[in-house]
Structure 1
Amino acid sequence: MPILTVRNVPDDVHRALRVRAARNGRSTEAEVRQILASAVMPQKRVRLGDALAMLGREIGLSNADVEAIGQGKDKAAAEPVRFE
């Protein structure tokens, strides 16, 4: 696991970290890890379907547009790839 060193942390910030860690029942190091994780990780997993639906709403895609895309598809089965 990588090691991260943070230099020149002001005394009042370090003191606040120690107090916050004690309040949460963690070491200062564990508290910093938790703060970093919550700052950079999404709150919930992004689902592809939800993201695509949101994108469709943002660009004004309608049900009729989706149906038109579906009608333009070739319904024939694809030929399997042959490795000879």
Structure 2
Amino acid sequence: MPVSLHVRNVEDDLAVALKKRARQNNRSAEAEHREILRSALKPRLDAEWERRAAALREATKGKLTTPSEILIREDRDFR
């Protein structure tokens, strides 16, 4: 669910730089602001995902699993 962020008291030179960068990337200042936030925070999100995936792999290490295509076929045959 998207939220609105309001940034107050931004220095004039930063606002000008944001608008210039947005123009260079053919985006609005608002779209450029979103892209800056996304690129700044994405590595952290990726790192968290990797950490959770590693924890899941560790928790299921050595356990027998059934390939998903077999489970899907069994479910379809059951119906």
> Is the structural similarity TM-score above 0.5?
yes
- Which has more helix, going by share of residues? 2
Residues 1:12 and 2:13 are matched in the alignment: yes
Structure 2 length-normalised TM: 0.55
CA offsets 1:10-35 (integer angstroms, 9 cap, x no match): 00000000000000010000000000
Q: Unpaired segments of 5 or more residues in structure 1?
A: 54-69, 71-84
- Look at both structures and tell me which one has the larger radius of gyration over its CA atoms: 1
Paired residues for 1:1-84 under 5 Å: 1-42=2-43, 46=50, 48-49=53-54
CA RMSD of aligned residues (A): 2.9
Q: Unpaired segments of 5 or more residues in structure 2?
A: 63-79
- Runs of 4+ displaced beyond 3 Å: none
